[in-house]
Each structure stands twice: as C-alpha cells, then as structure tokens.
Amino acid sequence: MKGLYCRNAALFVLLVFGLVLVFGGVSMAATITVDPTTDAAAISSVINAATDGDTIVFNDGDYYLDGVISVQKSGLTLQSQTRGGAKLYRDSDCVFRIEVDCAITIDGFYLESVDGNAEEGIWHEGDAPSGPVTITNNVFVGFYQYAIDALFGTASQVLTITGNTFRNCYEGPYLGIEGWTVNISDNEFEDCAYGIEIGSFTPCGSENVKITGNTITASAGSGCSYGIYLEDAGGGATVEISGNTIEGDYEHGIFFSTIGDDGTNRSTTLVEKNRVSVTGTGLHFGELFANAPGDLTVRYNTIETNADDNEVSGIYIDAFNNADSTVSFRDNNIIGDTDAASWGFATMATVLIDAQGNWWGDASGPYDDKALPGTPDYSNPEGRGKKVTSYIDYANWRTTAWEEEDDASDSSSGCNTGIPNLMFLLLLAPMGLLLRKFR
C-alpha cells in the first residue's frame, strides 16, 4: 500500500510538472544587469555578448552617456528596472543605435536629449529583422530630429509602439514600414512638430497599420505641423486611424499626402472616432486614388474648426480621381464657430463627394448659398451650420450630433474557453491511465 501511495504521489508530481512545462514554459534566457556607473561602450559590450532571448536590465539611476549604446544582437529585451527609473541622457547623436535586421524590445526608459543636442532617442537601422520590434513605456524628451527613427525593408514583421510619451521632440516616430504590420497605440505626444509620421509604404505591398488611442497636443504658439502624417496609404495597404485625440496649435490634425498614388492593388483606409480640434485643418486628404483604387471611410469623428481663415477646413480634399474607388464621410460632427471664415468641408475635386448624414453644428444643416453640382438643384442658404464648397453632397444631414451610444456596431461579447493544446492532451492521457492502474 505504501509503495502504491508513493507511485501515485510521484505520478501526481510529474503531472503537475508537465502542466507547468506546458502552460508556464521553461526558458533558458538570462537576465543581465548594468548600472549607471557603466559607460556606453561597456553597456554595448554587455548587450552584444548576450544571446537571443536574454533581458538586459538597466538598474534605476542617471546614465550620462559618453557614447551611443550599440545593439548588434537580435532577440533581446532592453528594460528599465522600474518604469522611467533608468534615465539615459545624451548630448549628441542618439541614445540607442539598433543595427540592421535586429528584432528588439525596448521597455520603460526615460531618454532625454541634453539641451536639445541629441538627434534621436532610438535609431533602428532597419532592413528586415527576423522577429518583432517593440518600443513600449518609454519617455522621450527634446530630440531635435526623431524620437524614433526606423526604415524597414520588405519583411513580414510586427512593429509595436505603445504606451510611450513624447515631449518637445521635432518628430515622434518617423517610420518606413514596407510590408509590415504596425501598431501605434496609447501614446502621448506633447508639442512635437510632427507627432507620428509614416513616410514609406511599398507600392504593391500589404502593410497593415493601426494608429489608435493616441493623445496628440500642441500648446498655443508652438506652431506645430502635423499630428499624424502619412505619405501614401496605398498600393494594397490597410490603414486604420481611430480613437485618437488631436488638439491645439497644429497646421493639420491628420494629413494624408496621397492615398493610392503608388502601385495598383486596392487599399482600405478607415478614419473613425477621432476627435480633432486644431488651429489649422482637421483632416486633410491630398490626392485620392490617382493610380491605385481603394476605399476611404471617414465616420464617427468630431472635427472642430474655429479659425478665421478661409484656407482652413474641418475636412479638405485636394483631388479625387479614380472611378473604381469609394469615398464616404458619414456620421461625423463637423462643428465650430459658424461665423469664422474657415470651412466645414472643402474640396478642389470636381467629383461629387459623399458627405451625407453628417452633423454640421446646427439642425438646419450646413451653410451653402449655391446649387450643388451633380445633385438635384438645391442649395441651403438658410443653413446655420459650418459652410461647404461645391461638390459636397451633404443631403440627409443629421439634426443632432452623433454620440458614442448611437453606434450599435460593437461586436457582441462572449466567452472563449480555448482548446487544450496537443502536448497537454498527450501528457494527460497516459498519466490518467497510470493513476487508474495503480489505484
């Protein structure tokens, strides 16, 4: 009986150990520490002696770096001991230089350009890393060029920039993302001339870009340029810009230089549930679908324009060229001082823009003192809402503002119990049989 008990106990321990292996994982990765007394060259040596999967922990304190921290190994995590506790200061060049092809995670640092003399916080030399690149929970202060600079060649990888704060940098992230999946979410930008810039897509690529939940602000008199800037969201890309707040002294809140200028593949662009209140134009779309067709949907946004300037608009479109493309602006709140000279919606295109079903700041609809080309012969000179140019189809306007609770598109909640993995089942079955045998 005693032997049977011991066997059962041993098998039970083995089963528990197996479960830990399956669900907890066993890692041979090392954790290596550095401290503020270590100079940049020595830190670089420690990093580059590490192996894939290792974590380099920077103990809390002030690091006054005398050189660049160079990362030449892929698959590492560089991490502050506590969030914001490792403070890295640099008075020239950059703080971290990540060599080409390096997958990396950089987590929790405070990085500052001393007297604004350092160009970049993180410079990733790009190309085609074999794994994801993650930059999270960092603070970037005062970099006169780019807080994050990365130009990636064609590769199917994931770039995540989330939970960071950018203050008084000329640009936050400046990215080239050919073929990548990109998530830029839940960051804060304060007085950065360019909050987020994505400057390079593949002409016939398959980029998947989400810019969501960011707060981008510019104080009065800062004269910042763009909250979010995209060079060409075309050539097969899928782009979602949603849930962002952009406020203050920006020339443009969200600016698309072009959509569908490069390549031939169809693109999809969604601009949804953003709040944009800037001194300049809220949403600026340059040339739409000059070469490649696509679909642009702009919905559930609040765009406020108060400028006394007739070159400023809540929404502005330069050109719309492709008959095989769709452009839709629905259920947006296009608001602001209706006595101001700025427009609610303006376009230079001579193709009718679908802007039905929006709220223009008043139940009487937008102000329009002329016939609308391409639609039944009507105008709305009695409208007390924001004014519109020709070629804006504003029919069926909302008589009340769109509110979050009006949107019934949220998916239903549910419970996913998951499926036990194969290793667990293979381990559990013989253990159960053995336990039964020795009962």
pLDDT for 206 beyond 70: yes
Span 30-71, pLDDT tens digits: 999 999 999 999 999 999 999 999 999 999 999 999 999 999
pLDDT for 6 beyond 90: no
pTM of the entire structure? Answer: 0.86
Q: What CA–CA distance (Å, rounded) separates 411 from 404? A: 14
- When pLDDT is averaged across residues 369-376 and rounded to a whole number, the result is 70
Strand partners, 81: none
| Residue 65, both tokens | 């770096």
Give the per-residue pLDDT at 435. 39
Spatial contact of 304 and 314, defined as CB atoms under 8 Å apart: yes
Report domain extents, the chain: 1-27+418-439, 201-402
pLDDT for 154 beyond 60: yes
Q: What CA–CA distance (Å, rounded) separates 428 from 224? A: 61
At 138, is the secondary structure helix, strand, or coil?
A: coil
User: Could you tell me whether strands 343-347 and 188-190 are parallel, antiparallel, or unpaired per DSSP bridges?
Assistant: unpaired
Q: Is the dihedral of CA 92, 94, 95, 98 positive or negative?
A: negative
Share of the chain above pLDDT 70, in %: 84
| Radius of gyration of the chain measured on its C-alpha atoms | 27
